[in-house]
A and B are shown apart, each in its own frame.
Chain A
C-alpha cells in the first residue's frame, strides 16, 4: 500500500501543461493573432516558441541549480525580501488578471456559442464552482484527472482538426508571409506570453516528485504545444481564409459547427464536452497557482482554504468585464503584451543575479 505523497509525476505534469496552454487554441487567441498577422498567424507559435527557448532555458537552469528551492524561494533569495515581495505581488496581480479575463472570455464562449438564453451569472458560477471544487482537492488530484482525460481531449481535438484539414483549401495559405516578414517576427515576439503560463507552472515544482521530471516534462510539453498550436491555427485558416477567420471571435467553436460527418451535420455538441473538461481543468490549475501565490504573499500555510473566497472575488470581477464583452478580447491582447516582458525578463534577471551572486561559481569548483 503506497501512501501518496501529494506530489505529481512527469505524466501528470505534462498533462497539466498541455491542458492549460493547449486550450488556448480553442479560445480567442487565434482570432487575436489573425487580426494582426492574417494568414501568417500560424507562424507565431513557432517563432515565439523559438524565442521562448532562451528564457525557458535560463529559467530551468536557474531552477536546476537551486534544486531544493521553489521558484518563489529563489526569487526571494536572489532579490531580497522587499523586491522579492514586490515581484511575487506583481506575479499574483498578473495571474489574477489572467484568470478574471480568461474566465470571462470562456463564459462568453459558452454563453454566446451554446447557451444564449442562460443568464451569464449562472454559467459563470458553474464554471467557477466546478473549478473551485477541483482546485480545493489539491494538485495531486488535478494532475490525476488531467492525465486521465488528456488522451480523450486530444483525440477529439485531433479528430476535429483532421476533419477541418480535409475540408480546407491550401491556397488560403498564400501569400505565405502575410503582412510581411518583419511584421511577423515583431508581432510574434511581442506575444511570447502564449507560453508565459510555463513561468507560472514552474511554481509547482515543490509538488513534482523529481526536479528532473519538471525540466524534462517542460521540454516535452513545450515541443508538443508548438506543434499543436501551429497546426490548429493553420487549420482554421485553411477552412475559413484569414479574412473570415479574423472576424470570428472563437474560431475553434465555429470550426466544430462547420465540419460534419455523414448524417451528423452539427457536431459541435460532440466536441463541446471535451473542450469544457479541458477548460475546467485549466482554471482549476490557475486557481490553485493563484492560491499558492496568495498564500506565499500573506504567509497562509493552508492556502487551499483561500481558493473559494478568491474565486468568488474573481467571479464578480469577471462579471463586471463580461458586461463589456467587446472589450474582452482587447483586454486579452493587452494582457499578452504585459506578460511578455515578465516572461522574458524574469528568468534572465534571475539567471544574471545568480551569476552575479557567485552561486554558479561555487557549483563549478
Chain B
C-alpha cells in the first residue's frame, strides 16, 4: 500500500516537473486523407518532414509526359534504391508520349499500390518506398523501392560449425527470410508481419510452417507480442526480454540463434521463429532446456561423434558448475574423502596462503571473470595483451606471491575452461552465475549446501514453462518426441515431432 502511494507520488511530481509539448495537432493532421490539391499535399508533407532541413528527404516535381499532369515524387534517398527510381519510375513517367495510358501501366516497378491516409503514406515512405502524388488524384501511388544498407551474408561467429553451412543471419530481415526459404522450399512456410512499437514502427516477422504449427501456440505468441506497448524495439534481443514469461529468471526460455539451418530445422519440428530487422539472429520459441544444450553440429556428424560431443558438453556443464564448490566443500568439510597423500600435498601448498579456501576460490573466480569480460570488450589489436596478462597473473604471479595455492588455479581454470564448452550465450551466463551460488552454498554447508541448492534449482527448472511447454520436456514430464535430449538417436529412428508442441502432423515420415 505504501509502495503504491510512493509510486503515485513520484509519478505525479515527475509529470509536473516536465511539462510535455502537445503533439495533438501533428497527430490529427496525420489521421486525415490527402486532398486532390497537389500543392496542399506537398506542403503538408514538407512540413511533416521539416523539409528542407531534413536533408535526405527528396521532393521531386515532375510533369508526366503524355497525360500532362503535375506530379511529385517523395522518398528518402538514403534508404531507397535511387538507381531503380530513376530507371523504373522517373524515366517512364517523363518519357511517356501516349495520353491514354494509366499510371500503373507506366511504372515498371515490381509493385504499385495506392494509399489515402497521410499516416499510411508516411509509413511507406519511412520504409524506403516512393510515394507518387498526382494533381487531381485523391490517392497516392506507393512504389516499392526500399533498399536499406547492410552487411552481406557472413560466417556464423557465435555458433561455429565445422561441417554445417557457414551462412549466418545478417541484419536485413529480407535476407534472413530468403536464407530460411532456401532451406524450406515449401508453400506452407508462412511469413507474417506485425508492427510492435509505436514510434519507431519496428516490424516483427512470424515464420512458421502452416501445416505443422499449433494454432493455439501461434495465437499465444501473437497475443504476447500484441500486448507490448512501447515506443521502440530495436532488435530481437530486446523483444526477447519483453515476451519472456519470467523476465527475472536466470534461465533463458527463448532460443536466440544466428544459424538459418538451425532455425529451419526447428521450423520443421513445428516451432515458431521470429525475425526482425537489425538483428543478425532469429528467436525460436518455445524453447526447452535441451535447445540450449544442443548445437547444430551434433546432428551433422555421425551418431557416435555427436553423442561423444554431447557427453563432453554435459560433463563440461557439471564441471563448470561444481568443481570450485566441490573443492571448497571437500577441503573445508569432508577432508577425510581425499586420500592422505593428496591431502597433505594440498595442505602443504596452502601453508603460506593467508586467506581461507573460499576467499581464495572467489578471488580466482572473480579474476577469471574479469579477464573474460575484458577480453570480450577489448579492441582487436590489443587483444593478445589480455592473454599474456591473464596467464601471468592467474598462472604464475598469484601463486608465487602466495595469494592463491596452485591447486586452486587448476580448479578454477578447469571450471572456467569448461564453461566455454557451453556454446549458447544465455546458458553460459546461467551456468556462470549458478557457479557462484554453489560456491557460497559449499562454503556455508559443504556437500549438504550444494545438494540443497541443487534440489532447489531442479525444482525451479521443472517449474519454468516457455509458452506453456515445461522446461525439461520431453525428459520430464514425458512426452512423445524424437528422443533428442541428452543424447541423440539414429536419424532414421527419429520418427516423431515433439508432442509438447502439439504439432498438426506428429509423424515425420
A341 in contact (CB, < 8 A): no
CA distance A140 to B471 in the complex (A): 13
Residues of the A chain whose Cβ atoms lie less than 8 Å from the Cβ of B476: 12, 144-145, 147-148
Residues of the A chain whose Cβ atoms lie less than 8 Å from the Cβ of B472: 144, 148
Residues of the A chain whose Cβ atoms lie less than 8 Å from the Cβ of B447: 114, 269, 272-273, 276
Of the candidates A140, A149, A267, the one whose C-beta lies within 8 Å of that of B458 is A149
B456 touches A1 (CB 8 A): no
CA distance A8 to B468 in the complex (A): 16
Most chain A beta-carbon neighbours within 10 Å: one of B462, B469, B470: B462
A1 touches B445 (CB 8 A): no
| Binary CB contact string for chain A from 175 to 200 against chain B (1 if under 8 A, 0 otherwise) | 00000000000000000000000000
Residues of the A chain whose Cβ atoms lie less than 8 Å from the Cβ of B329: 269
Residues of the B chain whose Cβ atoms lie less than 8 Å from the Cβ of A268: 337
A2 touches B499 (CB 8 A): yes
Residues of the B chain whose Cβ atoms lie less than 8 Å from the Cβ of A265: 339
A141 in contact (CB, < 8 A): yes
A277 touches B448 (CB 8 A): no
Q: Tell me the minimal C-beta distance from B475 to chain A in angstroms.
A: 6
A210 in contact (CB, < 8 A): no
A137 touches B459 (CB 8 A): yes
Residues of the B chain whose Cβ atoms lie less than 8 Å from the Cβ of A3: 468
Residues of the A chain whose Cβ atoms lie less than 8 Å from the Cβ of B286: 1
Residues of the B chain whose Cβ atoms lie less than 8 Å from the Cβ of A2: 468-469, 479, 499-502
CA distance A149 to B465 in the complex (A): 19
A134 touches B455 (CB 8 A): yes
Q: A1-B216, A1-B501 are in contact. Are A133 and B456 (CB under 8 A)?
A: yes
A115 touches B445 (CB 8 A): yes
Q: Tell me the minimal C-beta distance from A270 to chain B in angstroms.
A: 8
A280 in contact (CB, < 8 A): yes
Residue on B with the closest CB to A5? B477
B34 in contact (CB, < 8 A): no
CA distance A137 to B445 in the complex (A): 24
CA distance A123 to B339 in the complex (A): 27
A1 touches B452 (CB 8 A): no
Most chain B beta-carbon neighbours within 10 Å: one of A2, A12, A123, A266: A2
Task: Report A266-290 residues with CB < 8 Å from chain B CB.
Answer: 266-270, 272-273, 276-277, 280-281
B448 touches A130 (CB 8 A): no
CA distance A123 to B175 in the complex (A): 58
CA distance A145 to B465 in the complex (A): 15
B454 in contact (CB, < 8 A): yes
Residues of the B chain whose Cβ atoms lie less than 8 Å from the Cβ of A149: 458
B462 touches A137 (CB 8 A): yes
| Binary CB contact string for chain A from 109 to 130 against chain B (1 if under 8 A, 0 otherwise) | 0100011001000110011011
B477 touches A1 (CB 8 A): no
| Binary CB contact string for chain A from 1 to 33 against chain B (1 if under 8 A, 0 otherwise) | 111100011011000000000000000000000
B451 in contact (CB, < 8 A): yes
CA distance A276 to B479 in the complex (A): 28
Residues of the B chain whose Cβ atoms lie less than 8 Å from the Cβ of A273: 447, 450-451, 454
| Binary CB contact string for chain B from 476 to 509 against chain A (1 if under 8 A, 0 otherwise) | 1111000000000000000000011110000000
| Binary CB contact string for chain B from 432 to 468 against chain A (1 if under 8 A, 0 otherwise) | 0000000000000111111110111011001101011
Q: A1-B468, A137-B463 are in contact. Are A11 and B446 (CB under 8 A)?
A: no
CA distance A277 to B458 in the complex (A): 10
Residues of the A chain whose Cβ atoms lie less than 8 Å from the Cβ of B462: 137, 141, 144-145, 148
Residue on A with the closest CB to B214? A1
**Additional A-B contacts beyond A115-B333, A276-B455 (9; CB < 8 A):** A3-B468, A12-B476, A110-B448, A115-B448, A126-B448, A126-B452, A144-B472, A148-B472, A276-B447
**8 A-B contact pairs sorted by A residue (CB < 8 Å):** A1-B500, A3-B468, A122-B445, A145-B459, A145-B476, A266-B337, A267-B337, A277-B454
